[in-house]
Structure 1
Amino acid sequence: MLMDYNLTFAMVHGQGYDGASNMRGNANGLKKLIMDESPSAYYVHCFAHQLQLTLVAVAKESGDCTWFFQQLAHLLNALGMSCKKMRMLRIAPAEELIDALELEEVETGSGLNQEMGLGRPCDTRWTSHFKIVNRVISMYGTLRRVLRKIGDEYHGVEAQAALSIEKIFRSFEFVFMAHLMQEIFGYTDELCRTLQNQDKDIVHAIELVGDTKYYLEALRTDAGWDDFLTKVTSFCTKHKIKVVDMKGPYFPVGRPKRGLCDGAMNYHRFKVDMFVAVIDRQILNGRFDEVNTELLSCMAAFCPLHLFAAYGQEKLVRLAIKFYASDFTSDELARLPWQLNMYVTNVRRDERFQNLKNLCQLSVILVETNKNE
């Protein structure tokens, strides 16, 4: 098609594809073919999608995460099968709230103590997983109470399923995994939301990637482990859940013992296999490579917003020398720093450039004013 329209590969400076079509393999190898012809035709995968791929990969690669989300699925199925069960779920927290108000354990006021539902997680919207984990933890006592009630009032398969889930639900292992997922999703949630914002500031988003990595790395340290274990233990004590002895042998809950870390100790299973292993998969290394982040960071210096507040001569010179050197002669590269400073001074003084918001608008007005020449 490029040849039909007499367009040259040398002028291709970027690649973009519809994500779903690309994953189906409709354009396999196209990215490499174009980059072989034009190395400066950089391809930056959707950062929001990269983050979601990382988060989903954890659930698929970690048997402990898979087990945890399977239990959540069983819980949702057990509670969402009938109107009667959903009514139980609505009534139980109301009764607990009345008791708590009488004991003055909660505050009253507009917007406080509102009714919550559980909802269902969706892989394409990973924030939905964070939402349901938060609600399971905040509604923990209510959910256990409802599961026991279903086990008492129903018969057969439904009662047995509810009691089986309730048994797993009140295990230290389930509570541990719920809080671990809450910690990880809590640190990645803001990044996930920022990356999906159409008006996002590229530099801010890239900084958030670095910040998220920093906090996840801090979480896996000895101090992070001690604080996390204290939080989980406090929750277990509050809800009368037996806390495992970290020096004792590990016994899996709701899973066959054979082949699952035979002879392992609790400390190794919970800290090494669950806590550290899951966080290590979430560090985001390799998902946001330095080429893409530096390329976008340099390009952000073009942004005309707030009278070109993001302008940075060094970044734009680096963009030319490192990423698009083939577009310039050595003489042009030598003159570039002074030309850039003259450019930004010129456009800042021109009223026609004062209310621009993005690169698209900047490109149009540059052509309309002949300043592209």
Structure 2
Amino acid sequence: MTSPKIQKDIINCCAKETTKCIIEELGHDYFGILANESSDVSQKEQLALLLQYVDRKFEKVVERFSGIIHVGDTTALSLKEEFMTLLMDHSLRPSMIRGQGYDGDSNMKGEINGLKTLIMNDTPRAYYVLYFAHQLQLTLVVVAKNNDSCGWLFEILANLLNVVEVSCKRRDMIRESQAQKVAQALDLGELKSGSRLNQELGLKRLGDTRWGSHYKSLLNIIHMFPTIVEVLVHIGKHGSSEDKFKAQIVLGSLETFDFVFMAHLMLAIFGYTNDLYVALQRKEQDIVNVMELISYAKIGLQKVREQGWEALLNKITSFCVKHGIVVLTMGASYVPQGRSIRFVEQITNLQHFRLDIFLGVIDLHLQELDNRFNERNMELLTCMACLSSKDNFSSFVKDKVLKLATFYPKEFSSLDVMSLELQLDIFIDNMQSDNQFRDLNDLLNFL
């Protein structure tokens, strides 16, 4: 049992038995495929494949890991061949695929030669739905990359983390300094004590695929701003020569109106999208609820765009006054911080911060949300949501259910659709008039 060879044999046997149980549970029913590619520690490209289907009791949708494939290249054609080989090894028919879910890379979602297109060419009913959470992540990534000021902000945040989070000693300095300030505020009556209040805060490592980390980091940085400044000053005076230089540069950027403005603006934007981000991470998420959250996020951002300038500027001004940061006069000429004036047009502070940054960033964000959550798969999901039993079938719309049927022409012929139109009238009348179905919230309650 201590032999590596025997251990590998046991693991392989367990894997085969587990896979066998999964395939038996799936049987010959329809299924969806989920996949993601990434490199392992040896830099070999790996493709993980999951199967998604309804269990035998019709109680829930399950996702089962079915294998990892080593791929020599990540072209769509190569990925498809590996996909089909793995499915055939498990005696699964590609014709039974009824859904695909990947990330937003061009080799996966490309309209001409992407993996989802190649599979749909063989199985037209295998509709592709991009991961909702990943769509939101990509929206925020595009905003950061397409706006210079956003890119500058996140570069400063990355530099800050590299300075203060590089050692346990510096993390302890932040904790100790913050604890002292909390104790002083409690003594002065500025904070209340109690359960779950005044908990220890830290700085989150940033990542493009985890934009919730950006929101939490911005929250903590604004909340702990005096503490962070104090630690940076200490490093700038007593650190090594290299660390002194880095700390002084980061501190110089933090104590500017530009940084405070961008931090508060992005915090406001993340505030409206964070609930959506968290909701999209849940395993059991209701389609109707997702659609509503997307709409609420767009409405919230549009409201900030139209009515939020004065409130945001007042909050930023108060923050700057409280922490001794120079407040810029909106009518004066804009002078960029940490960047050459050669890259900036001769404009006023009001034009820069309100037009270029405030309106520009929000408009870019709204545009990306519209682009990424306005595809055909959204129509497919919206039509499916009409079958929800929640609130006495309040989401039911007959025309959308009929539209859903047209997406599957091999299951619903033109005659079937004509019959379905009459059957749906009878169905909804029965459902809404029968007290047995009045309190249904999901399919489980049918059983």
Task: Specify the TM-score bucket, using the shorter chain as the normaliser.
Answer: 0.7 to 0.9
Structure 2 unaligned regions, length at least 5: 1-83
Aligned-partner Cα distance in 2 for 1:269–1:307? 51
What's the CA shift for 1:131? 0.8
SS at match of 1:285: helix
What's the CA shift for 1:62? 1.4
Aligned-partner Cα distance in 1 for 2:350–2:186? 39
Residues 1:72 and 2:157 aligned together = yes
Partner of residue 365, structure 2: 282
Residues 1:97 and 2:182 aligned together = yes
Q: Which moved more, 1:245-254 or 1:149-158?
A: 149-158
Aligned-partner Cα distance in 2 for 1:225–1:65? 18
What pairs up with 1:143-182 in 2 under 5 angstroms? Answer: 143-182=228-267
1:273 alignment partner, one of 342, 356, 359: 356
**Cα–Cα, structure 1 residues 240 and 356, in superposed 2: closer, same or farther, change >3 Å?**
closer
SS at match of 2:271: helix
The answer as to whether partners of 2:107 and 2:114 remain within 8 angstroms in 1 is: no
**Cα–Cα, structure 1 residues 342 and 172, in superposed 2: closer, same or farther, change >3 Å?**
same
Partner of residue 315, structure 1: 400
The answer as to whether partners of 1:100 and 1:106 remain within 8 angstroms in 2 is: yes
Partner of residue 250, structure 1: 334
Aligned-partner Cα distance in 2 for 1:168–1:185? 21
Residues 1:229 and 2:313 aligned together = yes
What's the CA shift for 1:39? 6.0
Aligned-partner Cα distance in 1 for 2:120–2:202? 49
Aligned-partner Cα distance in 1 for 2:252–2:146? 25
**Cα–Cα, structure 1 residues 33 and 111, in superposed 2: closer, same or farther, change >3 Å?**
closer
Aligned-partner Cα distance in 1 for 2:92–2:243? 68
**Cα–Cα, structure 1 residues 264 and 290, in superposed 2: closer, same or farther, change >3 Å?**
same
Aligned-partner Cα distance in 1 for 2:375–2:102? 23
Residues 1:189 and 2:274 aligned together = yes
One-letter identity of the residue aligned with 2:326: K
The answer as to whether partners of 2:207 and 2:213 remain within 8 angstroms in 1 is: yes
What's the CA shift for 1:43? 2.2
What's the CA shift for 1:24? 5.2
1:60 alignment partner, one of 126, 141, 145: 145
One-letter identity of the residue aligned with 2:204: G
Residues 1:262 and 2:345 aligned together = yes
SS at match of 2:326: coil
CA RMSD of aligned residues (A): 3.4
One-letter identity of the residue aligned with 1:251: V
The number of residues matched between the two structures is 354
SS at match of 1:241: coil
One-letter identity of the residue aligned with 1:338: L
What pairs up with 1:336-355 in 2 under 5 angstroms? Answer: 336-343=420-427, 345=430
Which structure: greater strand fraction? 2
TM-score, length basis structure 1 = 0.82
**Cα–Cα, structure 1 residues 357 and 268, in superposed 2: closer, same or farther, change >3 Å?**
same
Partner of residue 241, structure 1: 325
What's the CA shift for 1:320? 2.8
Superposed CA deviations along residues 166-193 of structure 1, whole A, max 9, x for unmatched, are: 1211101000010111011110111111
Aligned-partner Cα distance in 1 for 2:233–2:225? 13
The answer as to whether partners of 1:305 and 1:358 remain within 8 angstroms in 2 is: no
The answer as to whether partners of 2:235 and 2:247 remain within 8 angstroms in 1 is: yes
What's the CA shift for 1:161? 1.7
What's the CA shift for 1:342? 4.4
Partner of residue 59, structure 2: none
1:220 alignment partner, one of 300, 305, 311: 305
Partner of residue 335, structure 1: 419
The answer as to whether partners of 1:15 and 1:31 remain within 8 angstroms in 2 is: no
Partner of residue 370, structure 1: none
**Cα–Cα, structure 1 residues 297 and 140, in superposed 2: closer, same or farther, change >3 Å?**
same
What's the CA shift for 1:91? 1.3
Partner of residue 368, structure 1: none
Structure 1 unaligned regions, length at least 5: 366-373
The answer as to whether partners of 2:102 and 2:130 remain within 8 angstroms in 1 is: no
Superposed CA deviations along residues 150-171 of structure 1, whole A, max 9, x for unmatched, are: 2222242212221221121110
Superposed CA deviations along residues 198-252 of structure 1, whole A, max 9, x for unmatched, are: 211101101111111111112122x211111111111112212111011101111
Q: Which moved more, 1:66-75 or 1:29-38?
A: 29-38
One-letter identity of the residue aligned with 1:246: M
What's the CA shift for 1:325? 5.7
Residues 1:120 and 2:223 aligned together = no
TM-score, length basis structure 2 = 0.70
Superposed CA deviations along residues 34-77 of structure 1, whole A, max 9, x for unmatched, are: 55677665322222111111111111111111111111111111
User: Aligned residues: percent identity?
Assistant: 40
The answer as to whether partners of 2:100 and 2:116 remain within 8 angstroms in 1 is: no
The answer as to whether partners of 1:220 and 1:276 remain within 8 angstroms in 2 is: yes
The answer as to whether partners of 1:304 and 1:357 remain within 8 angstroms in 2 is: yes
What pairs up with 1:24-39 in 2 under 5 angstroms? Answer: 28-33=113-118, 35=120
Aligned-partner Cα distance in 2 for 1:263–1:307? 60
What's the CA shift for 1:129? 0.9
Aligned-partner Cα distance in 2 for 1:26–1:168? 39
Q: Which moved more, 1:193-202 or 1:312-321?
A: 312-321
Residues 1:16 and 2:130 aligned together = no
Partner of residue 63, structure 2: none
**Cα–Cα, structure 1 residues 334 and 100, in superposed 2: closer, same or farther, change >3 Å?**
same
Q: Which moved more, 1:238-247 or 1:303-312?
A: 303-312
**Cα–Cα, structure 1 residues 116 and 338, in superposed 2: closer, same or farther, change >3 Å?**
same
Aligned-partner Cα distance in 1 for 2:416–2:157? 61
Superposed CA deviations along residues 272-303 of structure 1, whole A, max 9, x for unmatched, are: 22111111121112111153323212212334
